[in-house]
Structure 1
Amino acid sequence: MMTPRERVEAALRGHEVDRIPFTVYETKIPQCETERRLRNEGLCIIDRRIPGYEVKFNNVEQESVHFRGKDGIPRIRTIIHTPVGDISALERPAPRTSWSEEKLFKSPADYAPIEYMIRDQDYLPNYDAFLKAQQAAGGDVFFRATIGYSPLQEIIYGLMGVEQFSIEWAERRDKVMRLYDALTENRRKIYAVVAESPALAVNYCGNVSPEVVGRARFEKYILPHYNECAEIMHKHGKLLGVHLDANNRLLAPLIADSKIDYIEAFTPPPDCDMSVAEARRMWPDKVLWINFPSSVHLAEPSVIEETTRQILKEAAPGDRFLLGITEDVPPDRWQQNFSIISRVINTEG
């Protein structure tokens, strides 16, 4: 019998598996008796905490200020000091994540320090940490490297936010493109480091909302980065995937022609607009690593069971397919729901 990690690796490579891999992000399941039982049943933890590199600033300094707002809620103000000006962001910590309340970009005056910050970054290998964690974790944890957002997605979601980006794209596109070009050079530094890392699989970018970027911008400003990165990863025996967790129908033909190896966090109906069966037909040579639709976690146990069974049916014969949990599940539901999914996979997958 395969270990959970072996099962994930085989599925990602397109090799035969003894059953469909069942996976969950390391932040989406607490350590407890049920978690241990599920791992014994075959659940694989996907650990994304060690990207395979460290970020180094050369002439930029960063400080974090922890405080409570007037509402009593803890917040973190991150201040970036550059030779051409300071910028800051505000976050509200939450369990296993954080909420952005202020982005680094707030006005056109922030273009210069943000560009300086981007160009000042270097990336150093951190392979030993990756290897040690992988060896210590054993056979039911899979460590996956990450590159972060592609340039345009970083501008939209990391630096500006959708509304501010829309304004800047309309009024100061030349300045937006300077950031885009700087980020393109920045990401190429990461490609080189991650390509030589011990990781088998690398996630790059994602959270692509076609309602925001549209087909044309995706094809011109996002897809080329996937293909460039994939070519580099393939030369070093790596697999490249993208976290495509939104409506994918509009972009599906472009994704089909891309050089990426796996589509990760793909979410079928009722949450998004493509079924597993449609995805398998559209992307026959891609690995499909889905997210169990989050809204269904609120349904009755019988619906959880039937949804799992339908997903497996649409994924048949089951090659190049993984079923995962990539989103938060209500605390009072995860033990029951994960147990049902695990049982159906182990008996029918």
Structure 2
Amino acid sequence: MFTYLFRQLARVMAPNYEEITREEDTLGEKGITLGYLTKTSFPRAWIQLASPEQAVVDFMEKPEELCEFLEAERDFHKKAAEIAAGSPAKVLNFYDNLTDMVSPRFFESFSLPTYQLYAEAMRGSGQLLACHMDGRLAHLKKSIAAAPIQLIESLTVPPVGNVSLSEVKSIWPDKIVFINCPAHLTYITREEVRLGYLKLLDEWGDKRLAIEYVEDLPSDELEPHLSAALDACGY
């Protein structure tokens, strides 16, 4: 079914930038627009199409149906990359949810070629290529360093994640990093949140640290959490 879907999408897709242009007009100088890119093949398989176990078996054995799917998806990405590169979005973000479910071999075989395809299409556009990497990434440090991803979006810091901010500075010095709202700093007192962020800022060595709110904290927890984070950052 998805092979058919991607073949049809590659055939009929056309640019439509109205919504993102409208968002840019609304934001003005207060923010930047993000264009969301669909997942690469293995993250799509284990998150959306099959169980993790079945996805691993299929991508190791490569049955005929999977090979047809990968070919159709590759054609889809070629067309999508052209459209994305022509968009007014300042950042194009893969929602790959990278974590330790993805081995270096699978990353380099099934994600990296797609990132390279988009990076080539975007060359000279001034856009940033980003990827949502909110899992455990220590085993992918070298692979990510070699990827044309310019912005690592939603990094999960230890103890939930396993790549520290001090490591980030040494292994990915040329990449921009946005950290996810740290899971270990939720459901605690406001002062504990503030002290936790101060520790992260000290490790980072700069109070200019991009912190994203991408999880579903209840509103009565969210406001004091963000307030404490802003205090720690000197706002």
How does the TM-score come out when normalised to structure 2? 0.90
Bigger strand share: 1
The alpha-carbon deviation at position 262 of structure 1 amounts to: 0.8
Shift of 1:322: 1.5
Deviation at 1:172, TM superposition (A): 5.4
Report the counterpart of residue 272 of structure 1 in structure 2.
161
Which residue is 1:207 aligned to? 97
Specify which of 96, 102, 117 is matched with residue 5 of structure 2.
117
What amino acid does structure 2 have at the position aligned with 1:114? F
1:156 aligns with 2:49: no
Counterpart CA distance in 1 for 2:59 and 2:98 is 17
Q: 1:234 aligns with which of 114, 119, 123?
A: 123
Partner amino acid, structure 2, of 1:192: E
Tell me the distance in 1 between the aligned counterparts of 2:140 and 2:220.
36
| In 2: Cα distance, 1:304 partner to 1:230 partner | 37
Q: Contact 1:152–1:222 at 8 Å: present in 2 too?
A: yes
How much has 1:274 moved relative to structure 2? 1.1
Which structure is richer in relative contact order (CA contacts within 8 A, separation 6 or more)?
1
Q: Percent identity?
A: 24
Segments of structure 2 that go 5 or more residues without pairing to the other structure are none
Runs of 4+ in 1 over 6 A off after TM superposition: none
Residues in 1 aligned to 2:227 and 2:107: alpha-carbon distance in whole angstroms: 38
| Structure 1 residue matching 2:71: 3-state secondary structure | helix
| Contact 1:149-1:204 within 8 A present in 2 as well | yes
Match of 2:76 among 186, 189, 206: 186
CA drift of 1:170 comes to 5.4
Which of the residues 203, 207, 214 maps onto 1:326?
214
Q: Is the 8 A contact 2:180 2:211 kept in 1?
A: yes
User: How big is the shift at 1:171?
Assistant: 5.7
Cα distance in 2 for residues equivalent to 1:346 and 1:139: 22
Cα deviation, residue 137, structure 1: 3.3
- 1:121-171 deviation line (CA, Å, top 9, x unaligned): 132222232112221234434320011101222222222232332343456
The 1:323–1:232 alpha-carbon spacing in structure 2 relative to 1, beyond 3 Å, is same
**How far apart, in 2, do the equivalents of 1:202 and 1:193 lie?**
11
Highest CA radius of gyration, 1 or 2?
1
What is the rounded CA distance, in whole Å, between the counterparts of 1:114 and 1:317 in structure 2?
45
Q: 2:157–2:163: 8 Å Cα contact kept in structure 1?
A: yes
More helix by share: 2
Choose from 30, 52, 65 the match for 1:140: 30
Q: How big is the shift at 1:256?
A: 1.0
Q: Find the residue that maps to 1:327 and give its secondary structure.
A: coil
Per-residue displacement from partner, 1:1-30 (whole Å, max 9, x unpaired)?
A: xxxxxxxxxxxxxxxxxxxxxxxxxxxxxx
In structure 2, the partner of 1:339 is: 227
Partner of 2:146: 257
Query: Aligned residues, how many?
Result: 233
Rounded Cα–Cα distance in structure 2 between residues aligned with 1:299 and 1:219: 39
- The one-letter amino acid paired with 1:259 is P
Matched letter for residue 135 of structure 2: A
Q: Distance in 1 between matches of 2:184 and 2:207?
A: 24
Root-mean-square deviation (Å):
1.9
- SS of structure 1 residue aligned to 2:139: coil
1:219 equivalent to 2:119? Answer no
CA distance in structure 1 between the aligned counterparts of 2:22 and 2:159, rounded to whole angstroms: 40
* Structure 2 residue identity aligned to 1:287: I
Q: What's the secondary structure of 1:263's corresponding residue? A: strand
What residue number does 1:284 align with?
Answer: 173
Q: Cα 1:151–1:170, aligned 2, differ >3 Å: closer, same or farther?
A: closer
| Contact preservation (8 Å) 1:155, 1:180 | no
